[in-house]
Amino acid sequence: MYELIIKGEFSAAHHLRGYKGKCENLHGHNYGVELYLRQNRLDKLGMAIDFTILKKSLDKVLAEYDHHDLNGLKDFAKLNPTAENIAYMIHRRIRKNSPRIKNLKVCVWESSKAGACYFNTTNY
């Protein structure tokens, strides 16, 4: 089994609806994002998947989040923009935009000490 890792980052503001505490107020993070892709086999070039494909897929999603108030984006109209839900939405959008990408785990870090990951247990 092989596992590839791609990292990205974006800066954004958000607030947590229905939360009682500091995070109910508008604030920002410099988010770190990690993609993990598992693959059983390598292609004839010895690659699980071209890193360029993963990077393009991640960069496309992160460009839409970067320097925005996440609460105002369509992805978070109904979902609270927690680290868990951001990881879920990135996972969902990458899988939708690049169906070849399977066995994917997405981790979102809102600080160097706190983050959350999402993966589909049937595919990871």
State the Cα–Cα distance between residues 41 and 65, nearest whole angstrom. Answer: 33
Hey, what are 31's tokens? 């988010």
What kind and span of H or E run contains 118? strand 115-119
9 Cβ neighbours under 8 A, 6+ residues apart:
30, 31, 32, 33, 62
Per-residue pLDDT tens listing for the chain (124 residues): 899 999 999 999 999 999 999 999 999 999 999 999 999 999 999 999 999 989 999 999 999 999 999 999 999 999 999 999 999 999 999 999 887 788 999 999 999 999 999 998 776 6
The β-bridge relationship of strands 2-14 and 27-39 is antiparallel
Torsion sign, CA atoms 19, 28, 83, 74: positive
Hey, what are 58's tokens? 């991640």
The one-letter amino acid at 29? H
Has domain 2-119 been given CATH number 3.50.50.60? no
Please name which of 11, 9, 13 lies closest in space to residue 73, comparing C-alpha atoms. Answer: 13
On whether the pTM is more than 0.85, the answer is: yes
State the Cα–Cα distance between residues 124 and 120, nearest whole angstrom. Answer: 6
